[in-house]
Amino acid sequence: MQTVLSPSLRLAQTFRRLAPALVLAGFAPALGAVEPTVLTNPPPREPAMSPLPPVYVTARKEVTDAQLTPVSVSAVTADTLADARITAVREAAVYAPNVVMTDFSARKLSNPRFRGLGASPLNPAVTTYYDGVPQFNASSASLELIDVEQIEFVRGPQGALFGRNTVGGLINITSTRPSLQDWRGSVTGTFGNYNLWDGRASVSGPLRQNELAASVGAGWSSREGYTENDVTGHDLDSREAFFGKGQLLWQPYERCELRLLLSGERARDGDYALGDLAAIRARPHHVARDFEGHTTRDVLAPTLLANYWGERLDVSLITGGVWWKTDDATDLDYSPAPLAVRHNAEEATQFTQEIRVTSPKDSPWTLSDRVQMRWQSGVFVFVQGYDQRAFNDLNPPLAPIPMRSLSRAALDDWGLGVYCQSTLTFWERLDLSVGARGDYENKRARLGSSTVPAFGPPLTQKLDDEFGECSPQATALYRFTPDCAGYLSVARGFKAGGFNAASPPGTEAYGQEDSWNYEAGFKTRWCEGRLTANCAFFYTHWDNLQLNVPSGSSQYAPYYIANVGAAHSKGAEFEMHARPYEGWDVFASVGYNDARFLSGSESGGASVGGNHVPFTPDYTASGGMQYALHLGKQVSAYARAEVILSGRFFYDDQNTEGQSAYTLANFRAGLRGKHWFAEGWVKNAFDTEYVPVALAYPGLAPSGFIAEAGAPLTFGVTAGARF
């Protein structure tokens, strides 16, 4: 008797048979010629199958299924964080399309760019949130990761709910909750080339069963530098940091919860690995300096989360504090000549408070037998203070006589935001959402500069300004089937103007940046949940684009923020996750982006209309797979391979210099037991030479640019245990 298979089962069997060939064919261009293998005679008995686990996100301030959330969001889950041994945000960013992290060797300079939108560390276009607390400066945005549950990359303006500095999107980082049921813990250790040592441990458990719990995590990491100073023979960009996180969770009764977190990091790193671009390309990871400096950073961040789930209302409070301090010294001319040295010390504090009221989490309001409504509203206030003390020591020929130029800045901001959003659901198929947020900001600056010896009286300025904006957003999501949904959205984003801590005279202030984003997308599940495939198409227009531009003088800060005009960004994104059969996972993402300045845009008095926006690859892509084979007695062998591709991009708004397309490959393999694992790994396996960061530096750099080479081939072993 012949068995008749349903169309979905036939599609699943066909996918399982062809998936290995498709994956190998996809890797062939990067890994060399590989003959695909097709399983022409599969075993008669299929292994037990399980769907991909559901992914839940907080991209709209409430927990929702990622496949039913009408926004472009890529979630790097706890499983991926563990499988890929991700320890920094930049390592997770490669899985999100059209996301670029322009990281320097100094930890404080980590600037995310989504779909071409980015800016100065002092006024980011993409804000990082740790457990609901925004980081208003890049200096506290990229920390060593420990006890992290998930990282979300939310693309497109999110001003209607999140307000300031989300004109390009946001990065949402969620910490792992302490366990209220039982004690658990883990410890990992890593050793690699460049004398890499990394150790991390955490423990979590109940202090009072189902009521009070605590967790503590800590780590230490160090390595030698990748870049050698040919003048002294020393390595420059070494790293060393101690970091930790403590949590206390109290659930006095079922409908109430309090959670206290304290995170901190102490980093003592080497100098910037910057050198002339042409010299870096000729000899990667080599520079020539007469002065070797340092970069240090201290961060401390307490957070209090309070939640109440009522029968008619849910209430949540997020109270956050952030304190950070950095100090760095570097060779400002980046050459063997004793021309200029810069010393820079920065310190900042911020306090944020958000109060949010929503409809009950599991009980939306019923307006009729066909219409339901969910809603949320909130108030957000912040206070921020920033201080900078810097001086440049200049020698002839940069100054008539040896001279020290000093600058000091004190920036004080405070602001208020009020937001609301409601979602109507019709016939359990159509969701219509409308939201808006109103923001007000008050900014003040005290700027001072002088020289020793004095070449004129000290300059002192007191500046203040106000900024306000209403950011609306509207979305529509339609569920064609339980496994297929499409959405449309339109949203406005803004980034307040402000003041430069140091810049040439007349450029102390910069104006507000605004954007409109239009997006359409589809989110689908296939093969009984074993395949998800999502795509999105977007167009963004923004005015008064804020851009970091060179000052053209070593007397001031090398770069400052200026408005250069209008620009647009358009493109498409695709993401796929699949489980062809048990133990084998496949993932891929592709992003296309065309971001250009519009006619009439000017930078430094020169037209940039029609040029590409800096640090915006015309495409980004990543793909890979992980396979686990059970060996018996709770032991399995596993292997993971991934390829990361970046298209061509330019370093400056004049499109003078840029990086051509390049490909990186990472591999890891090991054994895993019930309570232990051991693995070997290699990153940038083929030692690809590339320069991800370069800055226009007219006058001092022979090529007109200074740059840092990308990380070289690194390898090592990691082992760990958990209980």
Give per-residue pLDDT as tens, 472-483: 999 999 999 999
Residue 349 burial by CB count (10 A; 0-12/13-18/19+): exposed, middle or buried?
middle
Report whether 290 contacts 335 (CB < 8 A). yes
pLDDT tens-digit map of 340-377: 999 999 999 999 999 999 999 878 888 888 999 999 99
636's tokens: 């399995």
Above 70 in pLDDT, residue 26?
A: no
DSSP state string for 401-432: S-EEEEEEEEEEEEEEEEEEEEEEEETTTEEE
Q: Is the pLDDT of residue 518 over 90?
A: yes
For residue 369, count other CB atoms closer than 10 A to its CB. 7
CB 263 within 8 A of CB 216: no
What is the C-alpha separation between 407 and 302, in angstroms, rounded?
31
Residue 48 pLDDT: 54
Confidence of residue 36 (pLDDT cuts 50, 70, 90): very low
The Cβ of residue 390 has, within 10 Å, a number of other Cβ atoms equal to: 20
The CA distances from residue 250 to 206, 212, 307, 549, in Å, are 10, 5, 11, 48
Q: Which residues contact 5 (CB under 8 A, 6 or more apart)?
A: 13
Region 112-124: mean pLDDT is 84
Give the model's confidence band at 454: pLDDT under 50 very low, under 70 low, under 90 confident, else very high.
Answer: confident
Q: Model confidence at 554, in pLDDT bands (50, 70, 90)? A: low
Query: Is the model more confident about 610 or about 47?
Result: 610
Q: How far is CA 573 from CA 412, 522, 533, 535, 707, in A?
A: 39, 11, 11, 5, 29
Q: What is the mean pLDDT of residues 577-591?
A: 94
Q: Which residues contact 3 (CB under 8 A, 6 or more apart)?
A: none
CA distance 260 to 263: 10
Q: What is the pLDDT at residue 555?
A: 63
Query: Is 693 or 46 the better-scoring residue by pLDDT?
Result: 693
Does residue 209 or residue 534 have the better pLDDT?
A: 534
Hey, is 112 helix, strand or coil?
Answer: strand
Residue 604's pLDDT band, with cuts at 50, 70 and 90, is: confident
**Cα of 695 vs its chain's centroid, Å:** 21
3-state secondary structure at position 582: coil
The answer to whether the CB of 689 falls within 8 A of the CB of 710 is yes
| 3-class DSSP state of 14 | helix
pLDDT (0 to 100) of residue 16: 43
C-alpha–C-alpha distance, residues 516 and 492, integer Å:
5
Name the class of domain 47-722: mainly beta
Is the Cα dihedral 116, 120, 122, 128 positive or negative? positive
pLDDT of residue 439 exceeding 90, the answer is yes
Written as one letter, the residue type at 460 is T
Residue 598 identity (one-letter amino acid): L
Q: Which amino acid appears at position 94 of this protein?
A: V
Distance of CA 364 to the CA centre of its chain: 33
> For residue 35, what pLDDT is reported?
36
Quote the CA–CA distance of 529 and 579 in Å, as a whole number.
Answer: 9
Given pLDDT bands bounded at 50, 70 and 90, which one contains residue 218?
very high
Q: Residue 664: pLDDT above 80? A: yes
Q: pLDDT digits over 92-112, tens only?
A: 999 999 999 988 888 888 889
pLDDT (tens digit per residue) in 151-193: 999 999 898 999 888 888 999 999 999 999 999 999 999 999 9
Angle ∠(417,420,424) on CA atoms, nearest 5: 165
Mean pLDDT for the chain overall = 90
Looking at residue 684, its pLDDT comes to 97
Looking at residue 117, what DSSP letter applies?
B
521/510 Cα distance (integer angstroms): 35
Match 């904006």 to its residue by tokens. Answer: 469
User: How many angstroms separate the CA atoms of 424 and 372, rounded?
Assistant: 6
Q: What's the mean pLDDT in 76-89? A: 94
Of the candidates 252, 227, 251, 248, the residue with the CA atom closest to the CA atom of residue 239: 227
d(CA 526, CA 532): 6
C-alpha 182/C-alpha 719 separation (Å) is 24
Find, among 90, 93, 51, the residue nearest to 75 by Cα.
93
The three-class DSSP label of residue 332 is: coil
Q: Are 317 and 358 in contact (CB under 8 A)?
A: no
Tokens of 713: 């081939």
Q: Is residue 589 within 8 Å of 96, Cβ to Cβ?
A: yes
CA gap 139, 579 in Å, rounded: 39
Contact by Cβ (8 Å): 74, 239: no
The answer to whether residues 373 and 364 touch, using CB atoms and an 8 Å cutoff, is: yes
Return the percentage of the chain with pLDDT > 70, whole number: 93
Q: Is it the case that residue 64 has pLDDT exceeding 90?
A: yes
Residue pair 92/79 in contact (Cβ under 8 Å)? The answer is no
Q: Are 641 and 682 in contact (CB under 8 A)?
A: no
Confidence of residue 130 (pLDDT cuts 50, 70, 90): very high
Which of 550 and 492 is assigned the larger pLDDT?
Answer: 492
Residue 688 has pLDDT above 90, yes or no: yes
Instruction: Give residue 87's identity as a one-letter amino acid code.
Output: T
In this model, does residue 702 exceed pLDDT 80? Answer: yes
Total-model pTM: 0.91
Judged against a pLDDT cut of 50, whether residue 559 lies above it is answered with yes
Task: Give Cα separations from 458 to 394, 407, 451 (angstroms).
Answer: 18, 10, 8
Q: b vs e for 417-438, b when ≥16 Cβ sit within 10 Å of the residue's Cβ? A: bbbbbebbbeeeeebebebbbe
Element (H, E) at 438: strand 430-452
Q: Where are the domains of the chain?
A: 1-46, 47-722
Over 60: is that where the pLDDT of 32 sits?
Answer: no
DSSP conformational letter for 454: -
